[in-house]
Structure formats: structure tokens, C-alpha cells
Amino acid sequence: MLGRVSLPLKSVARRSISSQRYASTKTIREALEEVIPAQQARLKQLKAEHGQTVIGDVTVEHVIGGMRGLKAMLWESSVLDPMEGIRFHGLSIPDCQQVLPAAPGGKEIIAESMLWLLMTGKVPTEAETRQLSRELAERGELPDYVVQLIDALPQTLHPMTQLGMGVAALNKESKFAAAYEQGIKKTEYWAHTLEDSMNLLARLPALAARIYRNVYNPGQPIPGVSKDLDLVGNYVNMLGYGNNHDLTEYLRLYIALHGDHEGGNASAHTAHLVGSTLSDPYLAYSAALFALAGPLHGLANQEVLRWQLNMQKEIGDNVSHDDIREFLWRTLKSGQVVPGYGHGVLRNPDPRFMALQKFCETRPELLKDPVIQLVQKTYDVAPGVLKEHGKTKNPYPNVDAASGCVLYHYGLTQFKYYTVIFGVSRALGCLTQLVWARALGLPIERPKSLSMDVIDTLVKSS
């Protein structure tokens, strides 16, 4: 953690985005230049004084069970507590909703304010947030060769495959790769990594929106990047839903909440691993996207929605809790899991799920939606059924239990695209980690692997 977050006493008045830099407002790079030296010194001291201190044991289960729960990564921007859920530099989701600036005319957290918090450990001012929005918008147009690449891909190619290819192709623009080839000091790695990360984050909405247009609405014009909109405002506008304020607000919240979830999940760890080889952020994050595309990771929200729609089709709209309970038991007895419930770390309801539920509670049109009503009724019943079933460590909902159903309500009904939105979001945390890994001089990852023969020998000798 970068230190205790100081909360602003008052929000400054919202202003329209100007082409001029806000007076006395730092850029995100300047803010990082202020906090990096202290963190470098802190890590150096930690290594010198406690480098050989034992903070956990390694069991055979860790080795053969996907390293689940093994404490083996440094990840500064967020910490996931099994009972409390995620905290971003010490701030819970309700804390963030209280103090992080929203978009002009909006109420939800936006990507820019979350990015500032993740990168610097500090709550941005309104002016800093607006300036960051402006900076990202100015970087947001796609290079022509990437446009041509995406437009040439088959319409039937999975949207996540297209997103990963597009991000990897942006490697041609890498400032880090160019500087490294010329020869730069290690102390300068982070600044070039930041430049790439800002460019990549800025261009993800245009890239993701172009994929959506090509796959689902061929020939439809795509608006350009507006300098007067925030990152998600531009994204929704380019998707063709710019007039839907509620969808824009929902995606602002969704993308901010999905931006970072500790470093051990598959996509975040993949970005860190590939980045540790000094691959540039484009290559590192494209690898993360292909991890995110796996059914056990980023496809969960579409699986939940498909399951909910199947339930609705089978038992109808006006369902009772008993109807849902019977459907849950049929699902479990058939050998399937209940999608959207359980989590690799959490042992309580996911605070991200609760935040999305509260979003729905403030909008009567969402509360009237039969699928969203089904989500709420399932939440009433499922934990009890799963506890009785006795085969899950966490019988409570995760964020995927609600996220896809709201997208579906607002007209984004193309299931295969949902993970692309997740991919736009998760860049916030993964790119933050790449910058800090270079600033702190973290080494290449190289854990030790073992064969079963070696494990047998170690077990016998112990």
C-alpha cells in the first residue's frame, strides 16, 4: 500500500473539460514521480531487513492445486480479503463510491478516478480526474494499420480473439520497446511503461467498439473519440448507445469495479508474468486477455446469464422461491455448478455484486425486469441450498451473478462480447502493476516446478 489515503473534505465544483491544463493540477506521471521514491526505499528496506522471513508454508496441495492461496506475489494496488472483499489502497467499494469523482452529470465512479487511485494510492481531485479524461481522449484514436487489421478479420472470429490480436498489434507503437532497444537505464523503465500503458488504455474503447461494430452491426458508422467525454462515455458512444445515460452509468460502475481484483487471478497474473520478461505492456496485456477468455475466468457472466434465461424459460416469470430452490437442486444433482456463486478467495457475498444490486435498486425499470427479479430471488435462496449441498466453500454470489443481466436489459444481448467489456476494465489494474513492477525493479518470475517423484521424495523425507 502506498500509505493511508487522504480523503478530500469537499469535492471541487465540476467544470467543463478545457483544452488548457487545469491550474496547479498534476498529471498522473507527475503524481507518480512524487510517490515512487518512497516506495522504492520501502521495498529496499523490506528486502534488507526481512528478506528471509517466513510468511507462509508451501504444501503439496499448493503445488498440485493451482497454487491457490499461496502468498507469492507483490501487488500494491489492491488486496482481497476473504471476508471483507476487495480494497483499493485501503478503500472499500463503498469508500470509493463516496470519494472518487464521477463524470460530469453522473454519480458513479469512472475509470479515470479509479486509475488515479490504483496508480498513485491517492484520491484524485475533480480537476485531476477531468484532466486525465482529456489526456486519454487525446490519445484515443486507433492507428490506421490496426483499423485495417480488425476490419480484415472474419466476422465469425471470437471478439476476444480479435481484442487480443488488436492489442498485440499495437506493440508497433511501443515507446518502451523502442527505448529499450536504444538502451535506457533501468530507472527509466517505468516512465516508458507508463507511456505505453496510457496509450493502450486510451485506445481500448475504440478497439473494442470497432470489434463490436464489425461482428454485430457491420457497416454502422462509428463516432470519433470526443475530447469532452470520459473513457467509458466515449466507449458507450462508439458502441452506439451514447444516448442511454443509465447504460453509460452502469458501465462506468462496472468497469471501475472490475478494474483490479488483486494479482493472483489468471489474467492479472499473466500480465505480470509476461511483463516480468520486459515484454512491453501491449504484449503483456494481450496475453492477459487470452487468459481472460478462458471459460474458468472471464466467461462467467455470460454463463450466469445463459443459466438464468434457461431457468426463466423452464419455470416462467412469476416464480416463487420454492420454484427456484427446486431448479437449483436439479442443477446440482445433474452434476453442474450454480454459475455466479462461489469464489476462489471470497467467503462472503462479493461487494461488487452488492454494489451492482444497489445500482438496480435505484432504477425502477431494472427492478421490473423479470430476469433481474430472478437474480434477486436466486440470491435469496441459493446460499441456503449450497450450504445444504455442502460442496462449496463459499455459497454466496460473486459479481458475475448480476453483471451480465443488467447489460442484457440495456440491449447488449450479445453474450460473446461481454468478456471484451471485462477486458477493457481489467486493463486498469494490470497496467498499473506493470508500471509499478518496473518502478520497483521487480525481477522475472521463475518459480520452481516439481515432478510427482520429487514430491514423493520430499514427503517421505519430511
Grid cell at residue 80: 482481497
Grid cell at residue 194: 507508463
Grid cell at residue 454: 520429487
400 included as an active-site residue: yes
CA-to-CA dists, residue 339 to 40, 218, 303, 307, 440, angstroms: 42, 32, 7, 7, 38
**Within 13 Å and on the Cβ side, how many CA atoms surround 236?**
24
- Say if CB 194 and CB 435 are below 8 A apart: yes
Alpha-carbon distance of 130 to 132, in angstroms, equals 5
| Catalytic annotation, pick one of 272, 343, 350, 409 | 343
343 included as an active-site residue: yes
Grid cell at residue 66: 493451482
Comparing CA positions, the residue from 96, 106, 427 lying closest to residue 88 is 96
Residues 407-413: contacts with CB under 8 Å, at least 24 apart = 407/250, 407/301, 408/305, 408/371, 409/366, 409/369, 409/371, 409/372, 410/241, 410/244, 410/246, 410/247, 410/250, 411/241, 411/244, 411/247, 412/239, 412/241, 412/247
Grid cell at residue 226: 470526443
- Say if CB 111 and CB 255 are below 8 A apart: yes
| Catalytic annotation, pick one of 297, 323, 369, 389 | 297
Comparing CA positions, the residue from 213, 216, 219, 230 lying closest to residue 140 is 230
| Catalytic annotation, pick one of 261, 269, 400, 409 | 400
Query: Where in the sequence numbering do the catalytic residues fall?
Result: 297, 343, 400
